[in-house]
Amino acid sequence: MKARILCVYDEGALEATPFIGAKGASMLIEVDGQRTLFGTGMRSRYLAHNMDHLEIDPESLDRVVVSHGHRDHVGGLGAVLSARRSPIGILASPSSAGRKGPIRSHGIRIPSELADMARVGYVEDWTALSDNLHITPPLPFPGGDECFLVLTTADGPVVLSGCSHCGPEAVAETVRDRFGRDPRAYIGGLHIVRRDKVRARAAAEFFKGIGCSDLRLNHCTCPAAITDIRGVLGSDAVGDFHVGMAAEYGV
């Protein structure tokens, strides 16, 4: 049996396609007969556009997982809720609730007319979504916390990252403690938003040290950082992951 991970929202999109590239992150994970949307990008209209052209029916989703409450990960949620005929569960890191009060700079914001379509819960510990898909406990970073998805495959854990604000080292340690193995692949953001050769090289050396040679990077990992990481790990080990790109793993 195979699991499939499809990029739905990212700053980059496949050339010569109708997909829109815009700030934000979203991936669709299909495994164990279920479909999980991980993140929703920043803008509802762009998410709806990409989902339509990728032939993803919002009603076919089993759940939405929110890694953290930054707008580029939760802003498109309305596109899912407004297109559904039945409520959907939303699992989120605790800080995704945002700050209380009339104005919030981040966090899940559901219009009152869509409130009945959302069943929001907050992740406190490891959560099994199915036999092979899991949510990590929230990992803290300054100003918030972030959850990650972990796909258990025949060759080891695959990490799906929104931004990795806490650093990939903390994520790998959490995964190792749970599954007894280091991640064999890492997909998503590393939060190196501008060229920083020191940080990029440190990340590359870390992945090299744990034997993780399947990186598919996007969103908050800038192109220059990806190039620098490739300089350490090689081009075969480090790929882009733009809208329309997919990865498959045996489970």
What does the CA dihedral 17, 43, 65, 94 come to, rounded to 10 degrees?
150
Domains of the chain with bracketed CATH: 2-101+108-250 (3.60.15.10)
Q: CA 104, 26, 157: angle at the middle one, nearest 5?
A: 115
Question: Count of CB atoms within 10 A of residue 134's CB?
Answer: 19
Please give the average per-residue pLDDT across 170-189, as a whole number: 98
pLDDT bracket for residue 156 (50, 70, 90):
very high
66-79 residue pLDDT tens: 999 999 999 999 99
With 50 as the cut, is the pLDDT of residue 101 above it?
no
What does the CA dihedral 166, 248, 73, 183 come to, rounded to 10 degrees?
-10
pLDDT bracket for residue 106 (50, 70, 90):
confident
Residues 6+ apart with CB under 8 A from 3: 29, 30, 31, 32, 132, 133, 151, 153, 248, 249, 250, 251
Question: Whole-angstrom Cα distance, residue 191 to residue 15?
Answer: 24
How does DSSP classify residue 236?
Answer: T
Question: Count of CB atoms within 10 A of residue 209's CB?
Answer: 11
Question: Whole-angstrom Cα distance, residue 2 to residue 87?
Answer: 28
Are the C-beta atoms of 216 and 187 separated by less than 8 Å?
yes
How does DSSP classify residue 235?
Answer: T
Are the C-beta atoms of 4 and 117 separated by less than 8 Å?
no
107-145 residue pLDDT tens: 998 989 999 999 999 999 999 999 999 999 999 999 899
**Cβ neighbourhood burial of 54 (10 Å; 0-12, 13-18, 19+):** middle
Expressed in angstroms, the distance from the first to the final Cα of the chain is: 6
pLDDT bracket for residue 238 (50, 70, 90):
very high
User: Phi and psi dihedrals of 28, rounded to 5?
Assistant: -105, 125
